[in-house]
């Protein structure tokens, strides 16, 4: 009974966040009315010619730099095949001379996935299949919207280095964080600005030869990526163990049915007849440009995670590691850093960012680091209880700002003067003399129980304004 | 999978066959009658035979030129230019449905 | 007929109105176009409107431009907004582009009056204009003969006196060869000197727009108007060209002229004789003329007939019945594409698409396409060597004078041979010009070709001017 090893390579297409398209001045916009962003170039009209968008090259170079790629003199080529979403019936892409090659991406667990190439190409138009279920096979006819035609893409091709669907998922989410960090893309998978194809094969553990791979298309969420790979691995293993063979083919992920299906694509369509695009010239960014791009590159998620972990001091707990990953994924690590620089314990800032702020991530990205820091300073200094601090925090997030101290006051959370606390404690002891005696003389368990009882009473007496820690301290002092 | 590893693109030119013509016609989305297949096979052979002088030269020391006058890094600023008027474009389209180009059902997924 | 320079001068001085010039031209076309089928479409209304705009400028003392009121014929592969642009093909029949080609805009700004769209071999594939879906053009010098091609309609329009100027496109000789066969001047500029934006592509790395005229000076005048950088064409040369007209009469004293054996041998005896007479004329005018051999030119034809079809097979894929032009129904999209292309393209276009698809297809790319591109490198190097010793090269434009209609339609290879002398300049992207120089034994025009290195247009026109001045 063989054990099987999964081998995964990923091709990620990402749309670049430019103002205009790759080869023309039409807007690169999502969700506009159909066919409003079209011109002779992106509509493939006779006589029209492409001219390369400088910002698209800049963003493609940022991706290459962030992936530790070599940025090389490159050439555009025509990939020839007929399809109605393709205005010229060829795609302008990069073939044997890609802009970025030979890089790698490090996953949170330190595993490095090789990146073969990250090349520039143009997107196609959008097809809508009409009739029946809107699925291609049953459709009666189709409609084409060329707004997306010639939108700039970078295709990032990984080495077949990944060994599990979880690792593939980690790669894509790490890549997504990197793309957002570089400003190259908004990383919105649900809007199709990031699309993943997975090359999956299996082989007996211990063997080095690759099995026959299948390419799975239409993976537009991390969840479907992982599900599709798990399904496909199971399918291939079952096939092989029952004495069958895997055919090299392209398969389509059917989200609803939860399975991969053979795609009915034309065999001759795979003779793409690539040749150098005569309407475009060589693209060879000079050293100066490359240096500018590398210099302008901000810290990547891996570095930001490391920085946060370091700020925590000592080895982070498993829970803290999760919090660090979450915070960096959401781009909230800036808040934490600002707070801990302001003297707030990093663990506290991290916890609040990973929970309360993360719960309203979009508002969190707009949250002013200064007020976040000063709020947590109040909590750390005991002027606000944890509960009160959280309440104020959510209020700030909902209102989209505000001064923490003022808000706390407005909510009646101003800190309790110590003599008020003393009076309250006197009152509670007087009212519960018998329990107090047991608290003072009782064994450890008894004391633990009653500590909770008295704290509760004092809280009642101060209608929640007292700080839990201070109450406990006062009670211990009285007990002597 | 895109990229050069896709296929090897070298082979000694062999005489163009009838099947080559049929295959190429399908790639080019052309329907040929049997007579046309015969005629084109003969005519394309003549041209390829004439090209044999070139095919047989040893030019491995030369780089192919895809442009007569090579230029580098021709770029445009990322600034919008007005797009075409949608109605003017759709007015000359063979078939239109709610502001989009209408086509018959698509038999196969994109490659 | 009156030259463009003379007409522009009259219109600018007010001696004649542009409207009057336009009406006369339109009347001539209306009366005689049927005999030659030079124009596919005539732009009456726009021509009158443009002429009136020029007259208004003159009246208001504004500069009407160097081509003020000059009628120009446009090859039908140049996009004209709102006017049919069909490339002589059924597949584009009735198509009206929503934009103007850059050269068309430049002509309008220069005050020229676009008269109409001229007939051509379908998608510029041919050397006789018999491959037009809308009937052949006849040679005005002898209506039983072809005008050459693919820009036969533009050459005929100038030869017939319909317009003093015309634009054509030259991919393998498609301006120079018809100019030679119709007895007019035809010039192909340096690749990238004239914008291709709005020129419907045949072979993108070879196509170049150029002028037809009755005189070398008129050709230079039109070239100076259309030349220049265009940000809409990535292959457009960045430098700003010097006008060529001012220096056109400076002669050839001391110039080194290489009479290129490889551009005359194989040509008809009468054609060879005219080329040698032109060489003698240049020598008399003070040029240093020597015979030179550039054997690499002999590979040009084969390389061209692999590169051009390969690029064409890709450029013509877009005619699929989806967005514009002809659609023939089919029950799925592939059937529709195939029915449309099968009905819309003529035999020569299909032939070249097939040839190019084959040359690019898996297994044959390196043997055919890549190899042809290496030959291109070889030819460019050979030119560079020749231009170390010579300022210009001299040769024939076409191997023979105009041949009979129908004589070569069934023999593609024989037809392709017409381009053997013109192709090298397309492979290298260098400028070249055909100048009428006497006639052949049959009394039909012979063209002599002058070739210059990249950006050598000014020198090219100077030499051509001397050849023209000594033409029998
Ligand atoms: Mg791709
Ligand atoms: Zn556009």
State how far the Cα of C246 lies from the Cα of C242, in Å rounded to an integer.
Answer: 9
Chains that touch A (3 or more CB pairs under 8 A): B, C
Q: How far is CA C126 from its chain centroid?
A: 12
C254 and B CB contact within 8 Å: no
- Residue C408, judged by CB atoms within 10 A of its CB (0-12, 13-18, 19+), counts as buried
Q: Which residues of chain C have pLDDT under 50?
A: none
Helices then strands (H, E): number in chain B? 3, 3
pLDDT at A46: 98
**Whole-angstrom distance, CA of residue A383 vs CA of residue C115:** 87
More confident residue, A186 or C267: C267
Structure tokens at A462: 């101060």
Q: What is the pLDDT of residue A238?
A: 96
Q: How far is A273 from chain B (nearest CA, A)?
A: 9
pLDDT, position B2: 39
Q: What backbone phi and psi angles, to 5 degrees, belong to C199?
A: -90, 115
Query: How far away is chain A from the Cα of B54, in angstroms, using its nearest Cα?
Result: 19
Ligand 2 center from residue B82 Cα (angstroms): 9
**CB–CB of C91/C51 below 8 Å?**
no
Residue A24 confidence (pLDDT): 98
Ranges of chain B whose pLDDT falls below 50: 1-12
For a pLDDT cut of 90, what percent of chain A falls above it?
56
Q: Which listed ligand is nearest to A122 at the C-alpha?
A: 1
SS (H, E, C) chain C: CCCHHHHHHHHHHCCCCHHHHHHHHHHHHHHHHHHHCCEEEECHHHHHHHHHHHHHHHHCCCCCCCCCCCEEEEECCECECCECCCCCCHHHCCCCCCCCCHHHHHHHHCCCEEEEEECCCHHHCCCCCCCCCCCCCCECCECCECCCCCCHHHHHHHHCCCCCEEEEECCCCCCHHHHHHHCCEEEECCCCCECCCCECCCCCCCCCEEEEECCHHHHHHHHHHHECCCCCCCCCCCCCCCCCHHHCCCCCCCCEEEEEHHHCCCCCHHHHHHHHHHHHHHHHCCCEEEEECCHHHHHHHHHHHHHHHHHHHHHCCCCCCCCCCCCCCCCCHHHHHHHHHHHHCCHHHHHHHHHHHHHHCCCCCHHHHHHHHHHHHHHHHHHHHHHHHCCEEEEECCCCCCCECCCCCCCHHHHHHHHCCCHHHHHHCCCEEEEEEEECCCCCEEEEEEECCCCCHHHHHHHHHHHHHCCC
Q: Which helix (H) or strand (E) holds A423?
A: helix A418-431
Q: Verify whether the Cβ–Cβ distance B51 to C305 is below 8 Å.
A: yes
What pLDDT does residue B10 have?
A: 44
| Listed residue (C158, C202, C192) closest to C178, CA to CA | C158
List of chain B residues whose C-beta atoms are within 8 Å of the C-beta of residue A131: 105
Q: Which residues contact A384 (CB under 8 A, 6 or more apart)?
A: A375, A378, A392, A408, A413, A415, A467
Q: Do A263 and B2 touch (CB under 8 A)?
A: no
Give the residue on A whose Cα is nearest the Cα of C360: A273
Chains meeting B at 3+ CB pairs closer than 8 A? A, C
Contact A46 C79 (CB under 8 A): yes
User: Which of residues 58 through 117 in chain A touch B, CB cutoff 8 A?
Assistant: 75, 79, 81-85, 93, 95-96, 98, 116-117
**Torsion angle in degrees (nearest 10) through CA of A50, A56, A58, A63:** -130
Residue A132 has pLDDT above 70, yes or no: no
Average pLDDT of the segment spanning A423-433: 86
pLDDT digits (tens, 9 = 90+) for A162-179: 999 999 999 999 999 999
Q: Are A384 and A421 in contact (CB under 8 A)?
A: no
For C295-310, the pLDDT digits (tens) are 999 999 999 999 999 9
Judged on CB neighbours under 10 Å (0-12, 13-18, 19+), A400 is exposed
Q: Point out the catalytic residue in the list C127, C128, C132, C150.
A: C150
Residue B14, burial from CB neighbour count under 10 angstroms (0-12, 13-18, 19+): exposed
Count residue pairs from A and B with Cβ separation < 8 A. 171
Q: Is residue A20 less than 8 Å (CB to CB) from chain B? A: yes
pLDDT tens per residue across span A20-76: 999 999 999 999 999 999 999 999 999 999 999 999 999 999 999 999 999 999 999
What is the C-alpha separation between C164 and A279, in angstroms, rounded?
32
What is chain A's mean pLDDT, rounded?
Answer: 90
Q: Are C217 and C248 in contact (CB under 8 A)?
A: yes
CB contact under 8 A, B105 and A144: no
From residue C457, alpha-carbon distances to B87, C199, C224, C464 in Å are: 43, 21, 10, 10
Let me know: does C152 contact C177? Beta carbons within 8 Å.
Answer: no
Determine the distance separating the centroid of ligand 2 and the alpha carbon of A43, expressed in angstroms.
7
* Interface contact C378-B59, CB threshold 8 A: yes
ipTM of the complex: 0.96
Give the C-alpha separation, C162 to C30, whole Å.
Answer: 10
Q: Please answer yes or no on whether A38 and B89 come within 8 Å at the CB atom.
A: yes
Please determine, for residue A467, whether its predicted confidence score (pLDDT) is greater than 80: no
pTM: 0.90
The stretch A290-307 carries a mean pLDDT of 91
Distance, in Å, from the CA atom of A259 to the CA atom of A235, rounded to the nearest integer, reads: 9
3 state SS of A254? strand
Smallest CA-to-CA distance from A454 within A443, A444, A439, A441 is with A439
Full strand arrangement of the beta sheet holding A249-254: A70-71, A100-106, A112-122, A152-158, A4-15, A194-204, A214-219, A249-254, A259-262
Active-site residue, selected from the candidate residues C75, C117, C145, C188: C75
Cα A151 from Cα A161, distance rounded (Å): 30
Between A226 and A408, name the one with better pLDDT: A226
Angle A21-A24-A30 (CA atoms, 0-180°, nearest 5)?
A: 30
CB contact under 8 A, C306 and B51: yes
Residues around the ion ligand 1 (C-beta < 5 A): A 155; B 2
- Whole-angstrom Cα distance, residue C331 to residue B107? 9
Ligand 2 center to A23 CA (angstroms) = 7
pLDDT mean over A323-343: 88
A46/C200 touch (CB, cutoff 8 Å), yes or no: yes
Q: How far is C304 from chain B (nearest CA, A)?
A: 10
Whether residues B76 and A284 touch (CB distance < 8 A) is answered with: no
Q: Which two tokens stand for residue C158?
A: 């100038």
The number of beta carbons lying within 10 Å of the beta carbon of residue B60 is 7
C307: its two tokens: 């590169």
Q: Give me ligand 2 centre to Cα A27, in Å.
A: 8
Work out the widest C-alpha separation in chain B, in whole angstroms.
57
- pLDDT band of residue A326 (cuts 50, 70, 90) is confident
Closest CA to C47 of C163, C126, C160, C131: C163
The reply to whether C103 touches chain A by the CB within 8 Å rule is no
Residues of B in contact with C320 (CB under 8 A): 29
Question: What CA–CA distance (Å, rounded) separates C422 from C301?
Answer: 9
Question: Which listed residue (C127, C142, C174, C428) is catalytic?
Answer: C174
A201-253, pLDDT tens digit by residue?
999 999 999 999 999 997 989 999 999 999 999 999 999 999 999 999 999 99
Q: Which of B77, B102, B108 sits opposite A143 (nearest CB)?
A: B102
A112 bridge partner residues: A106
Q: What is the DSSP letter of A475?
A: H
Active site residue C174: yes
Strand A90-93 to strand A77-80: parallel, antiparallel, or no bridges (unpaired)?
antiparallel
Query: Tokens 């959401």 map to which residue?
Result: A330
H-helix segments, A69-145: none
**Rounded distance from Cα A24 to ligand 2 centre (Å):** 5
The runs of H, that is alpha helices, within A297-403 are 301-312, 318-329, 333-341, 346-352, 358-359, 361-366, 369-380, 386-399
Residues of chain C positioned with their CB less than 8 A from the CB of A87:
318, 323
CA A168, chain centre distance (Å): 13
Q: How far is A363 from chain C (nearest CA, A)?
A: 43
Instruction: Indicate which ligand has the atom closest to the C-alpha of A123.
Output: 1
Task: Calculate mean pLDDT across residues A370-392.
Answer: 86
Instruction: Decide if C123 contacts C87 (C-beta within 8 A).
Output: yes
> What string of DSSP letters covers A23-89?
SSSSB--SSPSTT-S--TTTTT-TT----EEHHHHHHHHHHHHHTTPEE--B--EEEE---TT-TTS
Smallest CA-to-CA distance from C322 within A83, B24, A40 is with A83
């Amino acid at each position: 009974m063989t054990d099987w090893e999964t081998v995964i390579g990923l091709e990620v297409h990402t749309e670049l966040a430019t103002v205009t398209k790759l080869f023309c001045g039409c807007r690169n916009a999502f969700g506009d009315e159909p066919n409003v962003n079209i011109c002779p170039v992106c509509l493939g009209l006779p006589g029209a010619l492409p001219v390369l968008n400088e910002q698209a090259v800049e963003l493609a170079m940022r991706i290459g730099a962030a992936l530790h790629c070599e940025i090389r003199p490159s050439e555009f080529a025509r990939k020839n095949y007929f399809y109605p979403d393709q205005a010229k019936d060829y795609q302008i892409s990069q073939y044997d001379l890609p802009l970025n090659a030979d890089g790698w991406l490090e996953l949170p667990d330190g595993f490095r996935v090789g990146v073969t190439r990250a090349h520039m190409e143009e997107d196609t138009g959008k097809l809508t299949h009409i009739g029946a279920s809107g699925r291609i096979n049953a459709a009666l006819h189709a409609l084409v919207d060329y707004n997306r035609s010639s939108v700039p893409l970078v295709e990032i091709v990984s080495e077949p280095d990944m060994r599990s669907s979880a690792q593939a998922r980690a790669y894509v989410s790490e890549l997504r964080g990197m793309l957002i960090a570089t400003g190259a893309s908004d990383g919105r998978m649900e809007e199709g600005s990031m699309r993943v194809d997975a090359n999956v094969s299996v082989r007996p553990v211990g063997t080095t030869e690759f099995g026959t791979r299948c390419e799975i298309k239409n993976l537009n969420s991390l969840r479907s990526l992982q599900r599709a790979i798990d399904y496909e691995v199971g399918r291939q293993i079952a096939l092989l163990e029952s004495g069958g063979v895997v055919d090299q083919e392209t398969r389509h992920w059917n989200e609803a049915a939860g399975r991969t299906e053979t795609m009915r694509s034309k065999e001759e369509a795979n003779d793409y007849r690539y040749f150098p695009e005569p309407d475009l010239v060589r693209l060879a960014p000079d050293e100066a440009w490359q240096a500018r791009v590398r210099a302008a590159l901000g810290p990547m998620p891996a570095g930001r995670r490391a920085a946060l972990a370091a700020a925590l001091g000592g080895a982070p707990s498993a829970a803290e590691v999760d919090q660090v990953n979450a915070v960096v994924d959401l781009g909230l690590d800036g808040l934490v850093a600002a707070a801990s620089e302001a003297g707030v314990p990093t663990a506290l800032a991290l916890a609040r960012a990973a929970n309360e702020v993360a719960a309203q991530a979009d508002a969190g990205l707009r949250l002013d680091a200064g007020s976040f820091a000063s709020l947590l300073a109040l909590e750390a200094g005991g002027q606000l209880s944890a509960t009160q601090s959280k309440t104020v925090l959510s209020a700030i997030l909902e209102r989209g700002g505000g001064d923490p101290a003022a808000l706390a006051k407005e909510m009646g959370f101003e800190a309790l003067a110590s003599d008020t606390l003393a009076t309250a404690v006197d009152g509670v002891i007087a009212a519960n003399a018998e329990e107090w005696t047991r608290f003072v003389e009782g064994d450890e368990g008894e004391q633990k129980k009653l500590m909770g009882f008295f704290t509760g009473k004092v809280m009642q007496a101060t209608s929640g304004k007292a700080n839990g820690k201070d109450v406990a301290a006062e009670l211990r002092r009285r007990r002597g | 999978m895109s990229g050069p590893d896709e296929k090897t693109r070298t082979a000694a030119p062999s005489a163009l066959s009838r099947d080559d013509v049929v295959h190429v016609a399908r790639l080019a989305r052309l329907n040929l009658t049997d007579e046309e297949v015969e005629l084109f096979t003969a005519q394309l052979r003549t041209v390829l035979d004439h090209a044999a002088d070139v095919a047989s030269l040893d030019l491995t020391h030369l780089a192919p030129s895809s442009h007569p006058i090579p230029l580098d890094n021709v770029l445009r600023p990322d600034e919008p230019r007005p797009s075409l008027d949608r109605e003017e474009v759709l007015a000359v389209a063979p078939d239109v449905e709610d502001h989009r180009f209408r086509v018959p059902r698509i038999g196969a997924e994109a490659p | 007929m009156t030259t463009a320079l003379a007409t522009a001068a009259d219109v600018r001085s007010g001696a004649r109105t542009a409207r009057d010039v336009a009406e006369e031209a339109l009347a001539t076309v209306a009366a005689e176009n049927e005999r030659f089928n030079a124009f596919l479409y005539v732009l009456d209304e726009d021509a009158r409107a443009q002429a009136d705009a020029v007259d208004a400028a003159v009246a208001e003392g504004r500069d009407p431009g160097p081509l003020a009121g000059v009628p120009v014929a446009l090859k039908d592969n140049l996009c004209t907004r709102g006017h049919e642009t069909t490339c002589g093909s059924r597949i584009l029949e009735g198509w009206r582009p929503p934009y103007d080609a850059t050269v068309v805009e430049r002509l309008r700004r220069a005050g020229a009056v676009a008269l109409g769209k001229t007939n051509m071999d379908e998608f510029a594939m041919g050397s006789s204009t018999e491959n037009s879906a809308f009937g052949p053009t006849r040679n005005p010098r002898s209506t039983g003969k072809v005008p050459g091609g693919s820009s036969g309609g533009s050459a005929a329009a100038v030869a017939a006196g319909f317009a003093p100027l015309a634009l054509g496109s030259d991919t393998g000789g498609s301006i120079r060869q018809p100019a030679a066969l119709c007895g007019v001047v035809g010039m192909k500029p340096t690749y990238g000197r004239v914008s291709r934006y709005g020129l419907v592509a045949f072979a993108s790395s070879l196509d170049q727009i150029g002028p037809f005229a009755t005189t070398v000076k008129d050709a230079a005048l039109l070239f100076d108007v259309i030349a220049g950088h265009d940000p809409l064409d990535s292959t457009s040369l960045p430098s700003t060209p010097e006008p060529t007209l001012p220096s056109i009469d400076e002669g050839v004293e001391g110039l080194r002229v290489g009479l290129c054996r490889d551009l005359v041998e194989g040509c008809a005896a009468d054609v060879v004789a005219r080329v040698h007479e032109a060489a003698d004329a240049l020598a008399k005018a003070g040029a240093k003329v020597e015979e030179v051999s550039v054997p690499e030119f002999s590979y040009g034809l084969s390389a061209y007939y692999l590169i051009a079809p390969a690029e064409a097979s890709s450029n013509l894929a877009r005619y699929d019945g989806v967005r514009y032009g002809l659609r023939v129904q089919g029950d799925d999209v592939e059937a529709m594409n195939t029915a449309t292309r099968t009905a819309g393209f003529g035999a020569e276009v299909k032939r070249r698409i097939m040839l190019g698809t084959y040359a690019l297809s898996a297994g044959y790319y390196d043997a055919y396409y890549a190899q042809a591109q290496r030959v291109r490198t070889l030819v460019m190097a050979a030119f560079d060597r020749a231009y170390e010793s010579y300022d210009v090269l001299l040769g024939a434009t076409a191997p023979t004078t105009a041949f009979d209609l129908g004589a070569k339609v069934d023999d593609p290879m024989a037809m392709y041979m017409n381009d053997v002398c013109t192709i090298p300049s397309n492979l290298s992207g260098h400028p070249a010009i055909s100048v009428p120089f006497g006639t052949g034994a049959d009394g039909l025009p012979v063209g002599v070709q002058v070739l210059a290195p990249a950006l050598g247009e000014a020198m090219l026109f100077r030499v051509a001017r001397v050849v023209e001045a000594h033409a029998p």
